[in-house]
Chain A
């Protein structure tokens, strides 16, 4: 079974600084997708960034980028120029690329990010 581990329950960063959130996963699949979601107090999960396992190039979305290390099964999220609005719970998630269980996202435990002004 696939598992996703976020080893940092809480992280903090100063506004305008850079922070990296860690995520590791375990799978025997070669093709899959990885995601980072943000959950503010409103409860709605918001997609931050996605990575396809067969692509070696790391995904980037504005101030958000990932460091995807397939062999090490590591998928960290870097937030540059942190803003107060980035404060939220961040979840790393894994999804198989195929098979009947493709609909299942497996989430990590989450990391609470605090941004200090």
Chain B
């Protein structure tokens, strides 16, 4: 596509429910990144993919968080048993190769856990 597409744009969920956030990168971009933005913590790296592999998942905050990427394209970030502290904007980005030219970000998913 023309840009990085994220869905849903906004998600309200009840505490304890599972949620899936989707990211559709720019066609041909081999690398894909997930970040979390919250008032208290700023912008935090979560995980990145090169192709379907995740060389660095060091930013995932707990084992309730997981992500996968299939076909070198769409990625899904799953949060199980959501907690109120998971409320944040989840940003996805993609890049050609190793991203030395910078990353293209989507508009994010605002997750609110009530």
The interface of chain A, by Cβ under 8 A from chain B, is: 33, 35, 37, 42-47, 50, 52, 91, 95, 97, 100-110
Contacts and interface: CB of A to CB of B under 8 A. Distances in A.
A105 B89 contact: no
Interface majority SS on B: helix, strand, loop or mixed? strand
B91 interface: yes
Contacts of A110: 42-43
Contact of A107 (B42, B104, B106): B42
A37 B91 CA distance: 14
Contacts of B31: 103
A88 B65 CA distance: 30
A35 B102 contact: yes
B93 interface: yes
Interface of B: 31, 33, 35, 42-43, 45, 48, 50, 55-56, 58-59, 89, 91, 93, 98-108, 110
A95 B101 contact: no
A100 B104 CA distance: 20
Nearest to B98: A102
A50 B99 CA distance: 11
Contacts of A105: 33, 35, 43, 45, 103
